[in-house]
Amino acid sequence: MADDCNNLRIKICGITRLEDGLCALEAGADWLGFIRWPQSRRCQSPDECAGLIRNIRERFHGPFSAVGVYVDADRETVLDEIDRLGLDRLQFHGSEPPDYVNGFKLSVIKVLAVKNAETLAREADQYPGVPILTDIHHPDLRGGTGQGYDYEMLKGLIRKRDVIIAGGLSPENVGKIVADLRPWGVDVSSHIEIDPGIKDHNKIREFISRARSIQKQ
């Protein structure tokens, strides 16, 4: 668990363009998320995504993790794309059971839809030792909604687990959320975009700056 913000993980998700990935990394992001759910407007073909990740690595010489974001994907598809795309981490955003989530060689993140604190804690217990990403519950979408929720309900889980807060985060609210809750990480996509998959570079920089500003307080 993160007991201070010096080790805060910042993930910029829904990367579809070289310039956006480079901007995020140069501004201080740790992880870039690449959507592998075909129903998302931020999803690219495997070849496009592989080329994008390769080009980012060629241009940015510091360390970062490329995170593949999946929703109830076939295990064979994920295994194929780990090497084909050059992924470092996996994020599972669907109804994947614990034995599926734990069956990969890479570090994994399990996304849980926030309904209430009790349900969230009970669902998190099914994935011991796995970092949890919290997002808004939506009947049709899997992230990228831009909708927030009562982040205070995460306090109990953050005390016990590595929690990445997502859903409705923006440059305007991320500093306060990090200061109040001290999560392991934060994740943003839609609130730093001009259109789905097209990032606003000023908002990327502002989000990361404000997320890290608590370190100086």
pLDDT digit string, tens, across residues 153-196: 999 999 999 999 999 999 999 999 999 999 999 999 999 999 99
Alpha-carbon distance values, 164 to 12, 19, 113, 211 (Å): 12, 25, 12, 13
C-alpha 143/C-alpha 20 separation (Å) is 19
C-alpha 141/C-alpha 113 separation (Å) is 11
Grade residue 3 by pLDDT with cuts at 50, 70 and 90: very low
Task: Tokens for 202, please give them.
Answer: 């000023």
The answer to whether residue 5 scores a pLDDT higher than 70 is: no
Tell me the pTM.
Answer: 0.92
User: Where do we find the tokens 């795309």?
Assistant: 85
C-alpha 42/C-alpha 40 separation (Å) is 5
Concatenate the DSSP letters of all residues of the chain into one string: --SSSTT-EEEE----SHHHHHHHHHHT-SEEEEE--TTSTT---HHHHHHHHHHHHHH--S--EEEEEESS--HHHHHHHIIIII-SEEEE-S---HHHHTSSSSEEEEEEEES-HHHHHHHHTTSTTS-EEEEE--SS--S-------GGGGHHHHHHS-EEE-SS--TTTHHHHHHHH--SEEEESGGGEEETTEE-HHHHHHHHHHHHGGGG-
Query: Which residues make Cβ contacts (< 8 Å) with residue 16, sequence separation at least 6?
Result: 42, 44, 52, 197, 198
The answer to whether residue 21 scores a pLDDT higher than 90 is: yes
pLDDT digits (tens, 9 = 90+) for 54-112: 999 999 999 999 999 999 999 999 999 999 999 999 999 999 999 999 999 999 999 99
At residue 78's C-alpha, the angle toward residues 72 and 83, to 5°, is 165
- Is 1 inside a domain boundary? no
- Is 37 inside a domain boundary? yes
Question: How much of the chain exceeds pLDDT 90, in percent?
Answer: 87
- Is 3 inside a domain boundary? no
Lowest mean pLDDT among 27-31, 130-134, 144-148: 144-148
Higher pLDDT, 12 or 216: 12
Identity at 50, one-letter amino acid code: A
Q: How many domains does the chain have?
A: 1
Catalytically annotated residues: 13, 135
Q: What is the mean pLDDT of residues 21-49?
A: 97
CATH assignment at residue 144: 3.20.20.70
- Is 17 inside a domain boundary? yes
- Is 211 inside a domain boundary? yes
- Is 4 inside a domain boundary? no
**Range(s) of the domain holding residue 185:** 9-216
Alpha-carbon distance values, 97 to 58, 101, 103 (Å): 36, 6, 10
- Is 200 inside a domain boundary? yes
- Is 2 inside a domain boundary? no
C-alpha 179/C-alpha 15 separation (Å) is 26
